Structure 1
Amino acid sequence: MSEIASEVLVRRLADWGVDTVFGLPGDGINGIMEGLRRQSDRIRFVLVHHEEAAAFMATAHAKATGRIGVCLATSGPGGIHLLNGLYDAKLDHMPVLAITGMQETSVLGTGYQQEVHLEQLFADVAEYNLVVDNPAQLPGVVDIAVRTAYARRGVAHLCLPNDVQVAPADEDPYQHVAPARPPATAPIYLSPPGTPRREDLEAAAKVLNGGAKPAILAGAGALHARDEVLAVADALGAPVIKTLPGKAVIPDDSPFAVGGIGLLGTRPGEDLVEDCDTLLMVGTNFPYTKHLPEPGKVAVVQIEADPVRAGLRLPTQVPMVGDAKEGLAALLPLLRRRDDRSHLEKYQDAMRKWREDMAALVSPKRSPIAPQYLIGCVDRAASDDAILTCDSGTIATWAARHWTIRGRREFYLSGNLATMAPGLPYAIAMQLAHPGRQVISFIGDGGFAMLMAEFHTAARLGLPITVVVNNNDSLGQILWEQMVLGYPEHGVRFGLPATDFSAWARSCGAYGRKVTDPADVDEAVRQALAHDGPALVDVDVDPNEPPMPGKVSHDQAIKFAEAFLKGQPHKAAIATTLFKDKISQLGR
């Protein structure tokens, strides 16, 4: 059997260490599918129900492993469907390679069926973007695509027309020049040095040593630098704020942790932003500048891997380019240990109060079921090395505040894109990447419904993921955002017939249970986690539970009140829920 170009493509991916490709076949990639079949002993193909899920899975694979994620889609609509997941990779700076098909080169430009020029469509999302029109380009362009995805922490795209896919591997129809042939040895990616310049480290130490009320803001770029973050926090006596994608940087029960920042953050975190005089930003490009210190009010030092992003969000005295782990390790010997711990102790006291307030909301006595109680049950029952994937919406608030990072626990969601629907595909990819770990997807009814077919993918593969659906029968986050704007809610509740996603789980041959009574929540969650295979618990929660900010601004309070005065249709139920929240906190 003669070797075809697609086989060269797939074999070179395997040389790069790619072991999994997520995708959905179509007539625009039949040649690539044949290449995968011939190399099936080296690369596993994971069949999904929707290309968007394939792109989410590739992104999650990159987040879980640090290695490039690969997704595959057919020409035209298949490639179009990849885009949302690819933008998730782009905005969260994950190395992902998208491979798509295209019509035969002889018909391009004739308005052929499904003729979509994906290289033009992908121009914004992809750092490297190429239509391969000669088999001789392979495997060289595969190397360039993979290296670009790693170097620029983003998306690369290779598009192969049908006739190129199945052409003889050594065919070179034009032969104008000799093709560039990479060496046959296994390819490597050489990462740039990660230690900032010595003069920058010394300048940073001078600023940090001179501060009286320091703080650290750590993001996803510091997930691999837990020990270094804690050591620097101890030296400076600095409380540590974590962005939501960086939630797992340090444990939530650390004496330095003050929770998150922004609308999903904690009150101590918000207070610290206003109170600190020195801020060390590590591995974060936090975009919501209104939740950062007032420009010019604090001295800022930043360690950032990308020179473009260094000093982007705030006036920065010392922007340093480097890896978070290596940069902090080099900085630590230059710092003077702060003996005065009063600043740190102030926020330790504030966090004790905050944790008590949050614990009071995790009550089994409230009916309808409080979403805080649901995620609290998940938090108590999950193992210390569990991975939680989360969707966008109010559930991100509950997870941010009630999913406790301890031990080797991890937490993943769509960070900067904040798209709905990745929670379930993320869980599938995480379970494939870490087969020995407990993987839980905490997802809203709106997000689950978008890609619920992928639960069948988990069932077909026998993956022991646990899906917990926080079912408030609405687009909860949008509901509250409308009210904060001062408008009564409109078009955000799904209504009857009520959904029961547990029936879909059972139809897939998996564990499925519907829960409507608070007394059944804890047992249902524990049974699902103990099930040997995919499991789903669909829990009806209080749709009128507001995801209140850690610190409510005066403007937010006014707009909330205006929404009530303008005729908020569920104001009685919302008021009752707010009253129950306050009673729970006062009665602890």
Structure 2
Amino acid sequence: MRPQRKKNRKGTGAGFMSDLHALAKEMAQRGVGRVFGIPGSGPSLTLLDALEKEGVPFYLTHFEGSAVLMAGAVGRLSGKAGAAIGIKGPGLANMVPGLSACLLEALPVVTISEAYLPGTPSSKSHKRMNHQGLLSAAAKGSRFLAKSGPGFSELAEWAESEVPGPVHLEIAGSPVEVEKEADRESNPGDKIGEADEALKMIRASSRPVLILGSMAMRLKDTTALDALSIPVFSVAAAKGTIDERLPQAAGVYTGVGLEKTPEHRIMAEADLVVSIGLRHNEVLNAVPFKCRSVNIDPLGSAFCGGFRFDAVLTDAEKVTKACFEALREKEWGLDLIEESTRKLRDSLLSGPFLPARVFETVEHHFNHQCRLVLDTGNFCTIGEHIWRVPAPVLYLASGQGRYMGIGLPLALGAAVYDRGAPTAVFLGDGGVGMFVAEIKLAAQYRLPLIILLLTDGYLSSIRGSSLKDHLTERPVTIHRPSWAKTIEGLGVRSEVVGSEAELEEILSSWSPGSGPLFLEIPFNANAYQNMVEGIR
């Protein structure tokens, strides 16, 4: 929802401190339970002082982009926009990677930075950068703290509205008199189908499948999924929307699943696809289905490019409920799910000690009550297929952007937000180093976090192209790939693991209350490279 212009109130710079205190109070009352970032000596520090007085703790990060990602993780898990703070110019520029990732992954967050007032003479140029240029492609929009509003609550609602993402608030030396129009793209949601049309297709089908996009996580009620007896897929970004331990849970849909995947086996026999919020940016290849298809999405066909649905319905809550009721009358495919899933798991688990067995060991050790956070790489493909997520709050990943490196700050934000369940983040050689300094936060606050580095000494997902096309491997080779001593130096217990038995022994010796644990697990490079064959 776009914040509306309010009636302008008279105000001067003299009252700016009280405006910042009012902002802090509103943030606290709105449920902001923690703030991440790096302050300056100006209004950002004043705001943090006011937030501290409201009982809102601040977590100092080493990079502003990390702060935005941690806040985005809080937003995703809580359903309420997280908050991050930085300075103007370079501080906002450093926020941009986090903003971009939150935009790609639909993570609701309100970022706040210091700024120059509109109309400030160009001669004042200390740390001055084009904020709107930086924000134009990385946020849903931005506003100044203004006498006319909007307030934090309205900005947070905007960040949470479909499609969720980052919204930015600029705080200058005094509140501006007129609010700035937001840079926001409008998606009217053109309605090109009716509910009756979808219900007719469902009733006429004998082998329907359901695909859940990440929008399905934001429906008010998804309990009806538990009663279905047809194959239910989710995109990678929506893992856990259906309890993946249920017999109707068919795993992830990517659009490129190869012969070992349930996707490949089951989609070939489907005669109807019903999808909820299936968008082209949530799959690896958006192509038309080989059967009839209908998508339910409040944004209409704005994000449906490539699928060519027979109908797109926009009244999401009402239509979804009706479709669930119609799909309950159908029953097929559970035997195919069981067969194809078993074959995939047998293939992944029967060979040498590779990431599949690491995922399996960790998942079973915590009895499915450990939050999975995936960075991106070949290991991510394995994790998406083998780890069964029981609920959306137990999963975080870059399922849409495949944004390498963000797994660690997402995991830290999750562990800060929820200490009730351990968080396990899986990183590869490429992603481990980008935000490594933030591990000090885990040590400082004794977070219930396990960091697993799955290493083969290469950027493996790219090395595959080097091998296939007979290109040089030098650009994708990691020099001295071990991080164990470095992480230990940051105050975190670090272990190098060589077998499944060693992994189980170390996990059994660790408790979430003892603080973070780093596990470095090296693998044979060629076996690691080949583990995704037949999957993607």
TM-score (ref. length: structure 2): 0.85
Alpha-carbon contact 1:92-1:414 (below 8 Å) kept: yes
The structure-2 alpha-carbon separation of the partners of 1:288 and 1:85, relative to structure 1 and needing over 3 Å to count, comes to closer
Alpha-carbon contact 2:493-2:516 (below 8 Å) kept: yes
- Cα distance in 1 for partners of 2:127, 2:456 equals 39
Number of residue equivalences: 506
- Cα distance in 2 for partners of 1:547, 1:423 equals 23
Shift of 1:105: 6.5
Which residue of 19, 42, 45 maps to 1:5? 19
Q: Could you tell me which amino acid in structure 2 is paired with residue 202 of structure 1?
A: D
The structure-2 alpha-carbon separation of the partners of 1:16 and 1:449, relative to structure 1 and needing over 3 Å to count, comes to same
Q: Could you tell me which amino acid in structure 1 is paired with residue 236 of structure 2?
A: L
Q: Could you tell me which amino acid in structure 2 is paired with residue 140 of structure 1?
A: P
Q: Deviations over 1:473-497 (max 9, x none)?
A: 222222124445564534111133x
- Cα distance in 2 for partners of 1:547, 1:260 equals 20
Alpha-carbon contact 1:516-1:539 (below 8 Å) kept: yes
2:97 corresponds in structure 1 to 84
Alpha-carbon contact 1:273-1:293 (below 8 Å) kept: no
Q: Which one is further off, 383-392 or 510-519?
A: 510-519
Q: Could you tell me which amino acid in structure 2 is paired with residue 410 of structure 1?
A: L
Q: Deviations over 1:482-525 (max 9, x none)?
A: 445564534111133x4233x23333333222234555222223
Say yes or no: does 1:260 pair with 2:252.
Answer: yes
Which residue of 103, 116, 133 maps to 1:120? 133
1:394 corresponds in structure 2 to 378
Which residue of 82, 99, 107 maps to 1:94? 107
1:561 corresponds in structure 2 to none
The structure-2 alpha-carbon separation of the partners of 1:226 and 1:89, relative to structure 1 and needing over 3 Å to count, comes to same
Shift of 1:306: 2.1
Helix, strand or coil for the counterpart of 1:114? coil
- Cα distance in 1 for partners of 2:335, 2:225 equals 18
Q: Which one is further off, 505-514 or 439-448?
A: 505-514
- Cα distance in 2 for partners of 1:423, 1:106 equals 40
Counterparts of 1:330-341 in structure 2, within 5 Å, are: 330-335=322-327, 337-338=329-330, 341=332
The structure-2 alpha-carbon separation of the partners of 1:477 and 1:121, relative to structure 1 and needing over 3 Å to count, comes to same
- Cα distance in 1 for partners of 2:304, 2:135 equals 29
1:44 corresponds in structure 2 to 57
- Cα distance in 2 for partners of 1:523, 1:100 equals 46
Alpha-carbon contact 2:225-2:324 (below 8 Å) kept: no
Q: Which one is further off, 370-379 or 419-428?
A: 370-379
Shift of 1:256: 1.5
Alpha-carbon contact 1:386-1:410 (below 8 Å) kept: yes
Helix, strand or coil for the counterpart of 1:253? coil
Alpha-carbon contact 1:385-1:408 (below 8 Å) kept: no
Counterparts of 1:417-456 in structure 2, within 5 Å, are: 417-456=401-440
Say yes or no: does 1:278 pair with 2:292.
Answer: no
1:229 corresponds in structure 2 to 225
1:536 corresponds in structure 2 to 518
Shift of 1:457: 0.9
Alpha-carbon contact 1:474-1:492 (below 8 Å) kept: yes
Which residue of 304, 322, 329 maps to 2:321? 329
Shift of 1:531: 5.8
Shift of 1:49: 1.0
Q: Could you tell me which amino acid in structure 1 is paired with residue 344 of structure 2?
A: W
Say yes or no: does 1:242 pair with 2:234.
Answer: yes
% identical aligned pairs: 20
Q: Could you tell me which amino acid in structure 2 is paired with residue 159 of structure 1?
A: E
Helix, strand or coil for the counterpart of 1:445? coil
Helix, strand or coil for the counterpart of 2:363? helix
Say yes or no: does 1:500 pair with 2:468.
Answer: no
Shift of 1:399: 1.2
The structure-2 alpha-carbon separation of the partners of 1:540 and 1:128, relative to structure 1 and needing over 3 Å to count, comes to same
Helix, strand or coil for the counterpart of 2:348? helix
Which residue of 155, 159, 163 maps to 1:149? 159
Alpha-carbon contact 2:288-2:308 (below 8 Å) kept: no
- Cα distance in 1 for partners of 2:237, 2:318 equals 20
The structure-2 alpha-carbon separation of the partners of 1:334 and 1:405, relative to structure 1 and needing over 3 Å to count, comes to closer
TM-score (ref. length: structure 1): 0.78
Which residue of 28, 31, 37 maps to 2:43? 31
Q: Could you tell me which amino acid in structure 2 is paired with residue 540 of structure 1?
A: P
1:360 corresponds in structure 2 to 350
- Cα distance in 2 for partners of 1:136, 1:374 equals 55
Q: Deviations over 1:94-151 (max 9, x none)?
A: 221111112476854226232112122101222222344xx524x5353442232223
Q: Deviations over 1:530-579 (max 9, x none)?
A: 562122112222222126556479xxxxxxxxxxxxxxxxxxxxxxxxxx
- Cα distance in 2 for partners of 1:531, 1:317 equals 52
Shift of 1:328: 2.8
The structure-2 alpha-carbon separation of the partners of 1:75 and 1:82, relative to structure 1 and needing over 3 Å to count, comes to same
Q: Deviations over 1:423-468 (max 9, x none)?
A: 1111121122222112111112321211111110111122121111
Helix, strand or coil for the counterpart of 1:329? helix
- Cα distance in 1 for partners of 2:424, 2:121 equals 45
Helix, strand or coil for the counterpart of 1:146? helix
Helix, strand or coil for the counterpart of 2:236? coil
Alpha-carbon contact 1:389-1:413 (below 8 Å) kept: yes
- Cα distance in 2 for partners of 1:60, 1:408 equals 12
- Cα distance in 2 for partners of 1:349, 1:37 equals 58
Q: Could you tell me which amino acid in structure 2 is paired with residue 506 of structure 1?
A: E
Counterparts of 1:400-415 in structure 2, within 5 Å, are: 400-406=384-390, 410-415=394-399
Counterparts of 1:167-206 in structure 2, within 5 Å, are: 200-206=194-200
Q: Could you tell me which amino acid in structure 2 is paired with residue 524 of structure 1?
A: I
2:186 corresponds in structure 1 to none
Q: Could you tell me which amino acid in structure 2 is paired with residue 247 of structure 1?
A: K
Alpha-carbon contact 1:468-1:536 (below 8 Å) kept: yes
The structure-2 alpha-carbon separation of the partners of 1:530 and 1:289, relative to structure 1 and needing over 3 Å to count, comes to closer
Say yes or no: does 1:58 pair with 2:64.
Answer: no
2:497 corresponds in structure 1 to 515
Q: Structure 1: which 5+ runs fail to align?
A: 165-170, 181-193, 554-588
Q: Could you tell me which amino acid in structure 2 is paired with residue 276 of structure 1?
A: A
Greater C-alpha radius of gyration: 1
Counterparts of 1:453-464 in structure 2, within 5 Å, are: 453-464=437-448
Alpha-carbon contact 2:282-2:400 (below 8 Å) kept: no
Alpha-carbon contact 2:89-2:127 (below 8 Å) kept: yes
Shift of 1:9: 2.4
Helix, strand or coil for the counterpart of 2:268? helix
Q: Deviations over 1:303-330 (max 9, x none)?
A: 113235364342222211144x654323
The structure-2 alpha-carbon separation of the partners of 1:292 and 1:551, relative to structure 1 and needing over 3 Å to count, comes to farther
